[in-house]
Structure 1
Amino acid sequence: MSVGQFCNRDTVILRKEDSIIDAAKVMREFHVGSAIVVEDSTGGVKPVGIVTDRDLVVEILAAELDPSAVTIGDIMSYDLITAHEEDGLWETLQRMRIKGVRRIPVVDQQGLLAGILTSDDLLEILASELTELVKVIGKEQERERKTRGSLT
């Protein structure tokens, strides 16, 4: 299973010069906890950072800064790791764990933004797979009852 199969293609984006207020409004409007910071590139946009709702709280509110005096470029995470569409889910999960990130932008072969994969997405995928595994157990028991009958 590849990251490209499961990433969310509807990605919320911001630019470095956008205001903190705009970021908060966009996150609220789309009910997301992060936005990918991008720069224009030939053929699309290239991810250069990420900003999260936690960044807004820790960097702006807790520091008692004036949100109108700060831009996304001032608080975004520049140490951005990305996944390629063809990367495997398991390997990507391991990279996320090692780097301590819950969200990872997904890029195409040209390095352009293709989507985002979050820990929530991975939990949903894993839960679905585990549900299927549980169904196997039930089917096995059903098959055995049919072929061997009941002992009582």
Structure 2
Amino acid sequence: MQHRTVFEVMTHDVVTVAPHTPFKQIARLFAENDVSAVPVVDADRRPLGVVSEADLLRSTAELPSLEGRWAGVRLLSQERGLPDAETAAQLMTSPAVTAQPCWNLAETARTMYRKGVKRLPVTDETGRLVGIISRSDLLRPFLRDDTAIREEIEHDVLVDTLRLAPDTIRVTVDDGVVRLTGRVDERADIPVIVRLCRSVDGVVALHESIEDDCPALDTWDGRAARPVDEARTSAQGRRG
């Protein structure tokens, strides 16, 4: 069973800017390349930060409307008493949060969530930029065909990994939603089956109705509890 890595879904041909790239050139690159952010790299292609559309917009502000006369008039950074943001180095969010090509997509999604970012520059072992991965890239596995998901669960997970007989668990997949039915020998096997099947790329949700061959025993003090009726009858006999 294999999971997609950052390297497999990332954009390899990355649009970048240098620290001295001016504001208008960055905005032009966004429009020409249909991107919303670019890494800022040094001469060795090591990421220094990221400039996004939000960073460009953050460098300007709008005055509130005054009887409709000043609506839409921008208040420039120097008028607000703030330093001008003219270049990528002044505009970027730094330091850059990066990912590694070998990361799995779940690990990458957790990093994006924790850091509150929408994309991650991807660097190799030397720290040089080799790609960029965005939130939309993380959604690509969910475009997998239902048949491919079902076959991976049946063969890679259930048979090859868990060594179950092919007819032990029945698998159906509908729009990425997996349903498992069947019977196993040990109750402890069910959470393992669910966890491995749920981790398959493209699985949106999983529902299981798997039974086991172990008798249901309520234990107390290491002994099997007797049925309620039997225990009650025994107690009444002792009182008599």
Q: Same fold (TM over 0.5)?
A: yes
Partner of residue 4 from structure 1, selected from 4, 7, 10: 7
- CA–CA distance in 2 between the matches of 1:69 and 1:78? 14
Structure 2 length as normaliser, TM-score?
Answer: 0.51
Q: More helix per residue: 1 or 2?
A: 1
C-alpha distance in 2 between matches for 1:20 and 1:60: 12
Which residue of 2 is the match for residue 145 of structure 1?
none
| Alpha-carbon distance in 1 for matches of 2:19, 2:8 | 29
The residue that corresponds to 2:46 in the other structure is 46
Moved more, 55-64 or 87-96: 55-64
1:113/1:69 CA distance change after superposition, 3 Å: closer
Equivalent residue letter for 1:76: M
1:60 equivalent in structure 2? 60
The Cα of 1:137 is off from its aligned counterpart by 2.6
**Partners of 1:23 and 1:91 in 2: how far apart?**
30
Distance 2:93 2:51 in 1: 6
Q: In structure 1, what residue type is equivalent to 2:42?
A: E
Residues matched between the structures, number:
134
Q: Once the two structures are aligned, what percentage of the paired residues are identical?
A: 27
How far residue 49 of structure 1 moved from its aligned partner, in angstroms, is 0.5
Q: Residue by residue, what CA displacement relative to the aligned partner does 1:30-73 show, whole Å, maximum 9, x if unpaired? A: 010001100012xxx1111000011111223555248x961111
Separation in 1, partners of 2:149, 2:22: 46
Corresponding residue for residue 149 of structure 1: none
User: Matched residues in 2 for 1:11 and 1:37: separation?
Assistant: 11
Shift of 1:120: 1.4
Output the amino acid matched with 1:91.
E
Match of 1:127 in 2: 142
SS at match of 1:101: coil
The structure, 1 or 2, with the larger RCO (C-alpha pairs under 8 Å, 6+ apart) is: 1
Aligned residues: CA RMSD: 2.5
Cα separation, 2, equivalents of 1:46 and 1:134: 41
Unaligned runs of 5+ in 1: 141-152
User: Matches of 2:111 and 2:85 in 1, distance apart?
Assistant: 34
CA contact (8 A) 2:59 2:85 kept: no
**2:122 maps to 1:110:** no
Q: After the TM superposition, which of the residue ranges 92-101 and 51-60 deviates more from structure 2? A: 51-60
Matching residue of 2:159: none
**Larger Cα Rg: Structure 1 or Structure 2?**
2
Aligned match of 1:91: 107
